[in-house]
Amino acid sequence: MSFRRLVSYGEETEYGVAPSDVSKWIGYATTFRGGVEPAGDVYAALDSDRKKRPMIHGIDVSPHLEYYVQTAQFLKYAFGKVTTTGSGPYDHTLEISEDYVLPSVTLLEHRIGSPVHGFQYLGSRVESLELSWDEDGFLTASMDFIAQKVEKVTSLPSVTPLDVEPFKASQKTVTINGVQNDYVVSGSISLTNNHVKYPRSGDWIKGAVADRVDLEASLDIFYMDSTILELMLNKTKFDVSIKFARGADDYIEIQLLGCYATVEAELPAEGELMQTLNLKPSNLKIIARDNIAEY
């Protein structure tokens, strides 16, 4: 039997409790895994038997999602804090929250066929986010979650997709240390929240709390001159802006603030000379402008 597939979500007001509306659109999802695994091991005991015994303590749930980014709305769950200003268009600033308890969502995996059913991943908090793009590709988000539990459902809501193209690599403008660089081919930015799980209550964990954040970024750039290398050699601390714009009032700008650089610039025997700019930012923000009144 073939099933049509879809992933939607709803924001939880109480951790681990599904909200009434789990029909919100995330983006053009390309990959979803529930990440459901038994938590246990194989044990040996002084019981006169040569065979070890598998034992299960509970269930761990770690969903993984990849999607093409149409808006920054779902990205807010990786940061934990969003501030919105304006009266249309609206400016949304996503920042790393000072609160160690991040907002949680219920992810709903739709399996539309006969019989109709799905799986809800409750108490899902973003463990890590990677934003990446390749030449002639889309801005892609890859997210790992730590969820409290999973349950099967037999009723699925209708979901309305957002009718706008994802952001494209061809729409980007990259500024490094105040200078626009038109030779960036691909890149990635990652944020890891380093959650610590609370103890298990029955089969499921009681929750997860974030720890200190790890930030990294990498840009692949055609080598045009020594400017990028000199940022490393001079131990320069600088900012990087990566802006994807569909229009003047429709964009996502990724700001990597207070960066130090490591540059890899291998000298090949043939082919174009390239360099990889690896960044260690002090802070990460996203500024998005769109017609969505509230994130």
- Examine the pLDDT at 199 and tell me if it is beyond 90: yes
What was the pLDDT predicted at 47? 87
Mean pLDDT of 133-157: 97
Q: Rounded to an integer, what is the distance from CA 152 to the centroid of its chain?
A: 25
Query: In the prediction, which pLDDT does 287 show?
Result: 98
Q: What is the mean pLDDT of residues 73-85?
A: 98
Which one, of 215, 31, 192, 39, lies nearest residue 102 by Cα? 192
List the Cα angle 86/91/92 in 5-degree steps.
125
pLDDT of amino acid 39: 94
Dihedral through CA 147, CA 195, CA 66, CA 164, nearest 10? Answer: 90
Average pLDDT of 216-223? 98
Quick check: 222 pLDDT over 90?
A: yes
pLDDT at position 26 is 98
* Position 263 pLDDT exceeds 70: yes
What is the mean pLDDT of the segment spanning 24-34? 97
Pairs from 159-164 (Cβ < 8 Å, separation ≥ 24): 159/6, 159/8, 159/23, 159/24, 159/25, 159/110, 160/23, 160/25, 161/25, 162/25, 162/27, 162/70, 162/71, 164/70, 164/71, 164/246
Q: Long-range contact list for 117-120, CB < 8 A, 24+ apart?
A: 117/152, 117/153, 117/154, 117/156, 118/152, 118/153, 118/156, 119/34, 119/150, 119/151, 119/152, 119/153, 120/18, 120/22, 120/150, 120/151, 120/152, 120/153
Mean pLDDT of 172-196: 98
Measured CA to CA in angstroms, residue 200 lies from 53, 149, 212, 224, 240 at distances of: 22, 11, 23, 55, 42
For residue 116, pLDDT beyond 70: yes
**Mean pLDDT for all residues in the chain:** 96
Task: Flag whether the pTM goes above 0.85.
Answer: yes
pLDDT tier, 51 (very low <50, low <70, confident <90, very high otherwise): very high
Residue 1 has pLDDT above 80, yes or no: no
Q: Residue 48's pLDDT is what?
A: 87
| Residue 66: predicted pLDDT | 98
- The residue-averaged pLDDT of 114-133 equals 97
pLDDT at 15 over 80: yes
The pLDDT tens digits for 34-43 are 999 999 999 9
Nearest residue to 10 via CA among 101, 124, 116? 124
The per-residue pLDDT for 88 is: 87
Burial (CB count <10 Å: 0-12, 13-18, 19+), residue 203: middle
- CB-CB contact of 153 with 230 (8 Å): no
- Angle (CA) 108-114-115 rounded to 5° is 60
